[in-house]
């Protein structure tokens, strides 16, 4: 566990231009969990992170890791136990990918062969093709560079990771892939992670807990993503957390077991007459594995059902997914019937929004705390 105890950082303390970047921060980042620091520009996120590995010295207060005061530790030893990932990855431009990843183990005295073998393992683990290992950073895309940055930080297997906007410099599609891979990796590795972002959606997606900071470095709220959405402490947090909070909070509620409706389906290549004989204006098409591929409007099928006729807007909810995904499947379906699949992606049945909403209300009643 990383613990901040009444930590303050004032740049230029005692001078006319003094700036308090972090103000009396008390916070615990639990072992094996992701704690996200989020807030507007200049609220002290980076300063907070860098005080942990002592790149910045607090003006007052203490930071402990597993009960040990970081100020009392040898700084080299402290940093050996902390992986650090930054925006744009910060790779060494004149070293190949594999040598970048092997840097820290080599510094720690691991022999070249062993360090490289471990680096290759990590390169694959973060989702990079091993053929990229011999390239130089400039020969990689932004997303690939970020993956190398994560692999490098993991190379010495540190229990603690500090990550400062590691996915901010890539486009939204790559960013989502990196986030998903990061969560998968973390579910295997269970590192104690402090993660900085200015993006509340990223914070809510990645954080086991989220600390919202306001400018001046004051902690506004520390909570789970679900609680942050459901119960912001004040207008600043409410505004920062953003719109559609009620709907977004449903992402943290497991889908209830609701009775699904059996749906007549068609398949790619089916003749139009067969589709129309079903007698529904919209018919769901399944792929070869029984996976829903899209809705088709029966009267639009002149010859056979082909992929170009499929309506692409509908989402598919998984039976083991969230209430939000279930409601979204119903709302986004052109037929009004939300498509539900099992965990392997096979079609199970459909559901109406009018069945999901009562389930949401039932949950709410169940959770309501009686007034004392
Ligand atoms: N070396 C420094 N000297 C003086 N002031 C500094 C220094 N570094 C940061 N600051 C100030 O401290 C405050 C917090 O900065 P910090 O970089 O920690 O914020 P941040 O939340 O990470 O911001 P951003 O999201 O824009 O990166 C800002 O007002 C900044 O101007």
Atom of ligand 1 nearest to the CA of 46: 22
Percent of the chain, pLDDT > 70?
98
Q: Residue 363 pLDDT > 90, yes or no?
A: no
Q: Would you state the torsion angle of the CA atoms of residues 42, 43, 49, 52, taken in this order, to the nearest 10 degrees?
A: 120
Q: Give pLDDT, residue 106.
A: 86
Buried b / exposed e over 275-310, threshold 16 CB at 10 Å, is: beebeeebbbbbeeeeebbbbbbbeebeebbeeebb
Dihedral angle sign, alpha carbons of residues 116, 121, 127, 130: positive
Q: Are residues 273 and 231 in the same domain?
A: no
Number of neighbours of residue 316 by Cβ within 10 angstroms: 20
> Which range of residues forms the domain containing residue 326?
265-359
Residue bearing the CA closest to ligand 1, atom 23: 42
CA angle 341, 359, 352 (to 5 degrees): 50
Residue bearing the CA closest to ligand 1, atom 5: 11
How far is ligand 1, taken at its centre, from the CA of residue 218, in Å?
13
List, as one string, the DSSP characters of 100-161. HHHHHHHHTT--HHHHHHHHHHHHHHTT--GGGGGS-GGGS-HHHHHHHHHHHHHTT--SEE
Percent of the chain, pLDDT > 90?
74
Average pLDDT over residues 277-300: 95
CA angle 190, 194, 200 (to 5 degrees): 110
Residue bearing the CA closest to ligand 1, atom 26: 41
Question: In terms of DSSP bridges, do strands 34-38 and 192-197 run parallel, antiparallel, or are they unpaired?
Answer: parallel
Q: Residue 272 pLDDT > 70, yes or no?
A: yes
Q: Are residues 335 and 203 in the same domain?
A: no
Interface confidence (ipTM) of the complex: 0.96
Question: In terms of DSSP bridges, do strands 68-69 and 218-223 run parallel, antiparallel, or are they unpaired?
Answer: unpaired
Question: What would the pLDDT profile of 151-169 be if each residue is shown by its tens digit?
Answer: 998 888 899 999 999 888 7
pTM of the entire predicted model:
0.84
For residues 48 and 70, what is the distance between their CA atoms, to the nearest angstrom? 14
User: Are the beta carbons of 257 and 280 closer than 8 angstroms?
Assistant: no
Q: Are residues 334 and 211 in the same domain?
A: no
For residues 135 and 324, what is the distance between their CA atoms, to the nearest angstrom? 42
Atom of ligand 1 nearest to the CA of 44: 18
DSSP helix/strand/coil, 72: helix
Residue bearing the CA closest to ligand 1, atom 28: 42
How far is ligand 1, taken at its centre, from the CA of residue 40, in Å?
11
How far is ligand 1, taken at its centre, from the CA of residue 41, in Å?
8
Q: Give pLDDT, residue 168.
A: 84
Residue bearing the CA closest to ligand 1, atom 13: 21
Q: Which of 10, 14, 21, 37 to mutate to test the pocket of ligand 1 (most atoms within 8 A of CB)?
A: 21
List, as one string, the DSSP characters of 210-244. EEEEETTTEEEEEE-HHHHHH--SSHHHHHHH-S-
Place of tokens 């979204």: 328
Q: Would you place residue 367 in the very low, low, confident or very high pLDDT band (cuts 50, 70, 90)?
A: low
Identify whether 9 is part of a domain.
yes
How far is ligand 1, taken at its centre, from the CA of residue 221, in Å?
20
Q: Which of 7, 11, 37, 163 to mutate to test the pocket of ligand 1 (most atoms within 8 A of CB)?
A: 11
Of 252, 274, 304, the position where a domain reaches its end is 252
327's enclosing H/E stretch is helix 323-332
265 or 362, higher pLDDT: 265
Q: Are residues 248 and 304 in the same domain?
A: no
Total domains in the fold of the chain? 2
Identify whether 324 is part of a domain.
yes
Q: Would you place residue 283 in the very low, low, confident or very high pLDDT band (cuts 50, 70, 90)?
A: very high
Q: Are residues 246 and 285 in the same domain?
A: no
For residue 62, which of 13, 10, 11, 3 has the smallest C-alpha distance? 3
Q: Would you place residue 186 in the very low, low, confident or very high pLDDT band (cuts 50, 70, 90)?
A: very high
Q: Residue 360 pLDDT > 50, yes or no?
A: yes
Question: What would the pLDDT profile of 26-83 be if each residue is shown by its tens digit?
Answer: 999 999 999 999 999 999 999 999 999 999 999 999 999 999 999 999 999 999 899 9
Q: Give pLDDT, residue 368.
A: 57
User: What residues does ligand 1 touch, defined as CB less than 6 Å away?
Assistant: 11-12, 19, 21, 41-47, 198
User: Are the beta carbons of 98 and 116 closer than 8 angstroms?
Assistant: yes
Of 252, 279, 299, the position where a domain reaches its end is 252
Alpha helix positions (H), 156-305: 172-189, 200-206, 225-230, 235-241, 245-249, 272-277
How far is ligand 1, taken at its centre, from the CA of residue 186, in Å?
28
Residue bearing the CA closest to ligand 1, atom 4: 11
Max distance between CA atoms of the chain, in angstroms, equals: 83
Residue bearing the CA closest to ligand 1, atom 31: 42
Q: Are residues 146 and 235 in the same domain?
A: yes
Residue bearing the CA closest to ligand 1, atom 7: 11
> For the chain, how far is it from start to end, CA to CA, in angstroms?
35
Of 225, 252, 279, the position where a domain reaches its end is 252
Identify whether 368 is part of a domain.
no
Q: Would you place residue 137 in the very low, low, confident or very high pLDDT band (cuts 50, 70, 90)?
A: very high
Q: Are residues 245 and 269 in the same domain?
A: no
How far is ligand 1, taken at its centre, from the CA of residue 8, in Å?
13
Question: What would the pLDDT profile of 187-225 be if each residue is shown by its tens digit?
Answer: 999 999 999 999 999 999 999 999 999 989 999 999 999
Rg of the Cα trace of the chain? Answer: 25
How far is ligand 1, taken at its centre, from the CA of residue 99, in Å?
32
């Amino acid at each position: 566990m990383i613990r901040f105890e009444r930590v303050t950082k004032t740049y230029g303390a005692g001078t006319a231009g003094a700036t308090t970047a972090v103000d009396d921060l008390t916070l615990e980042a639990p072992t094996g969990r992701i704690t996200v620091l989020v807030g507007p520009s200049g609220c002290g996120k980076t300063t907070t992170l860098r005080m942990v590995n002592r790149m910045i010295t607090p003006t007052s207060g203490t930071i402990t890791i597993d009960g040990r005061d970081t100020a009392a530790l040898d700084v080299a030893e402290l940093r050996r136990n902390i992986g650090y990932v930054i925006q744009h990855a910060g790779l060494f431009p004149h070293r190949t990918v594999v040598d970048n990843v092997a840097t820290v183990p080599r510094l720690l005295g691991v022999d070249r062969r062993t360090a490289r073998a471990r680096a290759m393992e990590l390169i694959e683990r973060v989702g990079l093709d091993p053929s990229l290992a011999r390239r130089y950073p400039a020969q990689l895309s932004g997303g690939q560079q970020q993956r190398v940055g994560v692999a490098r930080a993991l190379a010495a297997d540190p229990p603690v990771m500090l990550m400062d906007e590691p996915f901010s410099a890539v486009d939204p599609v790559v960013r989502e892939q990196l986030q998903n891979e990061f969560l998968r990796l973390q579910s295997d590795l269970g590192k104690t992670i402090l993660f900085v972002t200015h993006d509340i959606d990223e914070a809510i997606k990645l954080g086991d807990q989220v600390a919202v900071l306001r400018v001046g470095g004051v902690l506004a709220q520390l909570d789970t993503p679900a609680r942050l959405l459901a119960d912001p402490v004040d207008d600043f947090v409410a505004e920062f957390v953003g719109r559609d909070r009620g709907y977004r909070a449903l992402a943290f509620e497991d889908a209830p077991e609701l009775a699904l409706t059996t749906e007549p389906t068609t398949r790619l290549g089916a003749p139009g007459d067969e589709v129309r004989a079903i007698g529904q204006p919209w018919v769901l098409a399944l792929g070869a594995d029984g996976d829903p591929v899209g809705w088709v409007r029966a009267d639009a099928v002149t010859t056979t059902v082909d992929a170009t006729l499929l309506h692409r807007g509908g989402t598919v909810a998984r039976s083991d997914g969230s209430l939000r995904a279930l409601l979204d499947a119903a709302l986004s379906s052109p037929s009004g019937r939300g498509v539900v699949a099992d965990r392997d992606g096979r079609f199970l049945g459909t559901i109406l929004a009018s069945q999901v909403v009562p389930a949401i209300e039932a949950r709410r009643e169940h959770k309501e705390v009686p007034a004392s």
